[in-house]
Amino acid sequence: MKVLFVCSGNSSMGISPIIENQANSLLQQGLEIDYYRIKGKGMKGYLQNIRPLRKYLQQHSYDIVHAHYSLSAFCVSMAGVRSLVVSLMGSDVKAGSIYRLLIKLFIFFYQWKVVIVKSEDMRLSLGIKKAVVIPNGVDMEIFRPMDKLACQQQLAWDSSKKHILFPSHPQRCEKNYVLLETALQIINNPNIRLHYFDNLAHTQTSIWYNAADVVVLTSLWEGSPNAIKEAMACARPIVCTPVGDVALLFDQVEGCYLSSFQATKLAADIQKALTYTETIKSREKLLSLQIDSQSIAKKIKMLYMQL
């Protein structure tokens, strides 16, 4: 089976690691995957790709065209593709009502064959009952527990301090970094050091997770946050706001704290996580939910074969 992934090609780091990981896991399932990278940002930039994409599709034959993110799906639809598979992310559904309305219009007028969302919360927010919930999988070989002190030494972090990792960039407003800052002011511990991702290669993030004493995500919204699943695969203590499917992921997993948007509660949970010393069975939780890359790839392959 030959599949075309249509996705953004604007990042300086290449294709999104999330999308690339899914493609690699599908390759291991015996599928052939090609990419069409859309160049240009915003609605205008994507619209400029309609004609080149239509020409490309006339010259190539695929069994499945799978668009990732709503803007890619809009472009593919207007390029004339039918029986389209679309993967929506949290930003597509949670960012605003205009995008949700556009998605519904395109589903209706262009007859999208399958709409994949990352969590039940996304499906409810979108209001499309036929949407299929398939979260992004985690590569359990890349994201695995490693020695914390060795990872701290590799990153030149002072092992006498407590290290908190915010697995995003503070300038991304939806990640709500200001809430973490407020909580740390409440804790007021001079031995805490705060780190965040800044153009970090995805292949390096596992070291950062393992070097952290606690991973904290304070997002306003998410679909199924990949950073949380990656940190869980590394068996780290985690504190997260109640977004996406995090309640499901953390259910009955000691050392993973479902917090709130109140800074005092977040501060209290961070302090609990900093003192948690038991083995965290979060990898087992991911496997029980079948959120590892290969389990997710099998689900997507089965979905393709049903079309």
Could you tell me the domains of the chain?
Answer: 2-137+292-305 (3.40.50.2000), 148-288 (3.40.50.2000)
Check residue 45 and give its pLDDT: 86
pLDDT in tens, 134-144: 999 999 999 99
Q: Is 28 helix (H, G, I), strand (E, B) or coil?
A: coil
pLDDT at 82: 83
- The residue written with tokens 């809009």 in the block is 74
Q: Say how many CA atoms lie within 13 Å of 177 toward its Cβ.
A: 14
Summarize pLDDT for 64-88 with one digit per residue, the tens: 999 999 999 999 999 999 889 999 9
Q: For residue range 181-226, what is the model confidence (pLDDT) as tens digits?
A: 999 999 999 999 999 999 898 889 999 999 999 999 999 999 999 9
Determine the pLDDT at residue 153: 98
**b/e for 157-193, b at 16 or more Cβ within 10 A?**
beeeebbbbbbbebeeeebbbebbeebbeebeeeebe
List the Cα angle 285/216/136 in 5-degree steps: 45
With beta carbons less than 8 A apart as the criterion, state whether 186 and 169 touch: no
Per-residue model confidence as pLDDT tens digits over 221-252 = 999 999 999 999 999 999 999 999 999 999 99
